[in-house]
C-alpha cells in the first residue's frame, strides 16, 4: 500500500501563521490507530480527549497506555463541567438520538474552546472503507478556523489496517471490545441491546448507575429512559436477557457460517450493527 508523504512545512505555516495539528481521541480503535499512524508523520501533533466523566474504566486505562506510547500528553477536557452538570442544566432530560446535547456540549464545544481562535488542522479517523461525514462545527462555517483532515481516507486505510496498526504497536484493542464495539459513555443511548447486557455482566455497578438515571412518571406515563423501546429495568428481566443472548448467538453463528474466514471481531461488529440502523455520534465513536 502506498502511503502519502506529509509536507510538514507546508502544513505547518500559512502566510506566517502557525497552524496547530490536533487529533481528537475518543478511546476507540480508529482514532487510537490514527494517533499511532500519525505520530512520526506529524511530531508536533496535539492530542485531546473530551472526558464526559462517565467513560468506561477500560477507556481510561487504554488512554493511559496510548499516552505512554505516543510520548506526549493527551489533554483531558471538561474537567469542570462533566455530564451531571449539564444534565442538571437540562432539568434531568436525558440525551437521545433526537436531542444530542451531550455531543454538542461535552464533545464539540470543549474541543472548539481548546482550539480557540487558532488556525488548526483536525485529524479525523474516518477510514477509506467508510462513507461518513466528519467534524460538524458549532461555529459558522464561513468563520471556521478548524480544517478537517482525513489521512486514512487519503491513504486507503481500511478497518483491517486499523487492527493491524494497533496490533503491531503492541497496544491492541481496548478491553471493552470483548463485549462492545463503540467507545463513549457507559450509558450511551446508542448502545445495542447486546452491549447493554455486556455492561450488566462486566460492570454491574455501572449498569445500576445507568438505571438510576432513568425516570418513569407513573401518573402521566412519561418515560425518561436510555432506550425508547424499553427501560433498563425491563431489559434486566431474566427472560429478556435470555432472549437477547439467544438472538445474538444465532446471529453470530449465521454470520460465521456465511463467511467462515472472516476475523471474529469483524463478525461481532457486523452483528451488533445489524441490531439497529442508527449511526452513533461520530466524535464519540471513532
Q: pLDDT, tens digit, for every residue of 88-147?
A: 999 888 998 888 899 999 999 999 999 999 999 999 999 999 877 655 565 554 447 899
CATH fold of 8-176 reads Rossmann fold (3.40.50)
Closest to 152 (Cα-Cα) out of 32, 11, 284? 32
Structural domain boundaries in the chain: 8-176, 193-285
Q: What's the pLDDT tens digit per position in 179-229?
A: 888 888 999 998 889 999 999 999 999 999 999 999 987 777 788 899 878
Assess contact for 270 and 259: CB atoms under 8 A: no
Closest to 202 (Cα-Cα) out of 56, 26, 51, 28? 56
* pTM for this entry: 0.83
Rounded to an integer, what distance in angstroms lies between the CA atom of residue 280 and that of residue 275? 13
Rounded to an integer, what distance in angstroms lies between the CA atom of residue 286 and that of residue 281? 9
CA distances to 126, 159, 197, 214, 222 from 226, rounded to whole Å, are 27, 29, 14, 7, 13
The model's confidence at residue 79, banded by pLDDT at 50, 70 and 90, is low
Rounded to an integer, what distance in angstroms lies between the CA atom of residue 170 and that of residue 272? 26
Assess contact for 206 and 186: CB atoms under 8 A: yes
Amino acid at each position: 500500500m502506498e502511503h502519502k508523504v506529509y509536507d510538514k512545512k507546508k502544513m505547518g505555516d500559512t502566510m506566517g501563521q502557525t497552524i496547530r495539528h490536533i487529533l481528537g481521541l475518543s478511546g476507540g480503535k480508529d482514532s487510537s490507530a490514527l494517533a499511532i499512524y500519525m505520530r512520526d508523520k506529524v511530531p508536533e501533533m496535539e492530542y485531546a480527549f473530551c472526558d464526559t466523566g462517565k467513560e468506561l474504566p477500560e477507556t481510561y486505562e487504554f488512554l493511559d497506555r496510548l499516552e505512554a506510547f505516543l510520548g506526549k500528553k493527551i489533554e483531558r477536557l471538561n474537567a469542570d463541567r462533566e455530564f451531571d452538570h449539564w444534565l442538571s442544566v437540562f432539568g434531568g432530560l436525558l440525551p437521545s438520538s433526537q436531542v444530542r446535547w451531550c455531543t454538542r456540549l461535552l464533545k464539540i464545544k470543549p474541543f472548539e474552546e481548546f482550539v480557540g481562535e487558532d488556525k488548526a488542522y483536525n485529524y479525523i479517523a474516518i477510514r477509506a472503507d467508510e462513507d461518513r461525514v466528519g467534524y460538524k462545527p458549532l461555529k459558522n462555517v464561513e468563520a471556521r478556523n478548524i480544517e478537517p483532515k482525513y489521512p486514512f481516507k487519503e491513504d486507503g486505510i481500511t478497518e483491517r489496517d486499523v487492527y493491524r496498526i494497533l496490533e503491531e504497536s503492541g497496544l491492541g484493542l481496548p478491553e471493552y471490545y470483548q463485549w462492545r464495539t463503540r467507545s463513549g459513555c457507559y450509558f450511551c443511548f446508542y448502545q445495542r441491546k447486546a452491549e447493554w447486557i455486556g455492561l450488566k455482566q462486566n460492570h454491574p455497578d455501572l449498569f445500576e448507575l445507568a438505571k438510576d438515571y432513568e425516570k418513569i412518571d407513573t401518573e402521566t406515563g412519561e418515560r425518561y429512559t436510555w432506550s425508547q423501546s424499553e427501560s433498563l429495568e425491563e431489559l434486566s428481566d431474566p427472560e429478556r436477557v435470555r432472549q437477547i443472548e439467544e438472538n445474538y448467538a444465532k446471529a453470530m453463528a449465521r454470520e460465521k457460517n456465511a463467511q467462515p474466514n472472516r476475523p471474529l471481531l469483524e463478525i461481532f461488529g457486523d452483528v451488533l450493527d445489524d441490531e439497529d440502523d442508527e449511526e452513533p455520534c461520530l466524535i464519540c465513536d471513532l
